[in-house]
Every structure is written in structure tokens, then in C-alpha cells.
A = this chain, B = another copy of it.
């Protein structure tokens, strides 16, 4: 039996990979909802419906839910730059919090039962220990993290009042690209490490900057938890299946239990691309914890999530395939 689902933000980086994985199961009827502010129409597969509009627009949402009557919503619409959130916190709250409130109001009004929410490692701020478990202390250190935590808190109350069951998936460092090389990362203002590194062998950048090599880590550079975007996408499917099966709301950290330092990622990119990729050490940036690594135990045990991509070289290779075939992203 197929389930009808809305992927809000389904034309974005992670959303487009969720759509691909949903299609592969052949068990879902998919509607993408996206305002295309940062998403790409070109990422939408043939045959998948796209409703263009904004989650802050209640009338648009009501019309979309009335028309399609989905059972579940994956909510991947958000403003995602930590730096921008510090400069313009109100637009982050408007889009990420007020927008989600409107989306949930429309869902409740249309009796949509399941909600899978894109949360983030940023809710943990400077973590008290590593790897980070789901219930560890949550103290964001930027507005972006606070907007995501505000929604996690709200969801508990919406479940309580309206029986809307949710799963929060906290992404750590999403990276890589679909194995086909047809979709991948294409942000107007790229801030993610792997695409930035790969701009060097692509001839778009002379060298890569490493911000700080005096962190309390083995090689002095920051350690992050890199998880392949297709593995993250699969977790969304496990999440909605979990909701349909158990009817229990929950929260999961999507990590690997193992981090890589910036230098290790640069080395992996050198291996994969065969390019020297010169690196220059710069000053630390404010607000970077030494290490952000998630325990993946709970997602594995409760959801049955199992990552397909375990080596960092395989992750970088998948990104490299996308970038070499799409050097200008979705724009020819």
C-alpha cells in the first residue's frame, strides 16, 4: 500500500535526496512543496508533482493539503546559514519558527498525522561530551540552532494537543551526492566544507582555508561528523515507517559515532581527485566547538538505520562525481 507524502523543501539539497530515496522504494506517492528560494526546479524528477509556494502562506498550504490529502509531511524548508542567522535573526525566526507554526496549523486542520522534522546538531551548542546522545544538554550558541530547538519544543505540545506524531532528525554534517550523480549540493553561497574543497580541483578556487589548527583534537583541526546525504535521506523513510508502525514520537541524532578532522577530509579529497589541493591555516572562527560527533546507536537500534556510506573517501567520491558532471551545479 502506498502512502501519500509531502516533501516540503523537496527541491533542496537534502530534500531532493529524500525524494530520490522515496521513489526508489516505490511505496510513496510524492508531492514536493518548495518556494524555490534556494531549491532547484531541475532537481525535481520527472513525474513528481511540484507545488510552488511558501510555508508562511497559510492559504497556499490549505489549498495544497486539501488537494493532495497527504498522510505525512517531511519538513526540510529552512534557512540554514549559521552566519546569516546571527546577522538577521528575525528572518530566521520568521522562516524557521513562524513558518513551521503555520505549516503545523494547516496540517492539524487537514488531519495530517505524521511529521518528520529536519533538526540539527546546532541545538547542542558546545556539547558536554562526545559522542553526543539524544538527551544531552541542549544550549544552542546561534539563532539558527535556537530556531530548530524552538520547533522541537513546540512539537511536543502539538503531539500532546492534537496527536500529531513526529520524528526530529538532527543532522550533523550532511555531505556527498546521490550515486547517479544527477543531483547534489548547489548552494548560492556555499559554506559547506566538501564542496568548498572540491572547488580547488575544479579550478574555481586557488586553495582551501582551514580555520584554526590549535583545537583540542589529534591534528589540531576541528572534528565533525560527516554523514552521506543518501543515508540521511534513508533515515527519513525509516522515520515515517516508525511513526506509521508505532505511533510514537521521537528524536534521533543522525551521526556515525566517528568524526573526521578538517585535515582528514582534505586528505580524502586529495586522494579522490588526485589534486594537491593547497591548504592555508587561518585564525579560528568564533563559535566552533573542537568536536561535534553524534552517537548513532539510537537511530540504529530504534529505526534500524544502517549507513551505506562508511568511508569518507566514498562520500567525497560521490560528491566529486556530481561536481565534475555539474561544475556549475544545476545551471548549465
Point out residues on A near B: beta carbons under 8 Å: 85-91, 93-94, 97-98, 101-102, 104-105, 108, 143, 146, 150, 153-154, 157-158, 160-161
Contacts and interface: CB of A to CB of B under 8 A. Distances in A.
Contact of A161 (B88, B98, B146, B160): B88
B86 A161 contact: yes
A108 B90 contact: yes
How many copies of the polypeptide does the oligomer hold? 2
A101 B105 contact: no
B90 A158 contact: yes
Given A146-B157, A161-B86, A105 B94 contact: yes
A87 B161 contact: yes
Contacts of A146: 150, 153-154, 157
B89 A157 contact: yes
Given A86-B157, A90-B154, A150-B153, 5 more contacts: A86-B160, A90-B104, A93-B97, A94-B101, A146-B153
Contacts of A89: 154, 157-158, 160-161
14 contacts: A85-B157, A86-B161, A88-B161, A89-B154, A89-B157, A89-B160, A90-B101, A97-B97, A97-B98, A98-B98, A98-B101, A98-B102, A143-B157, A146-B153
A101 B108 contact: no
Contacts of A88: 161
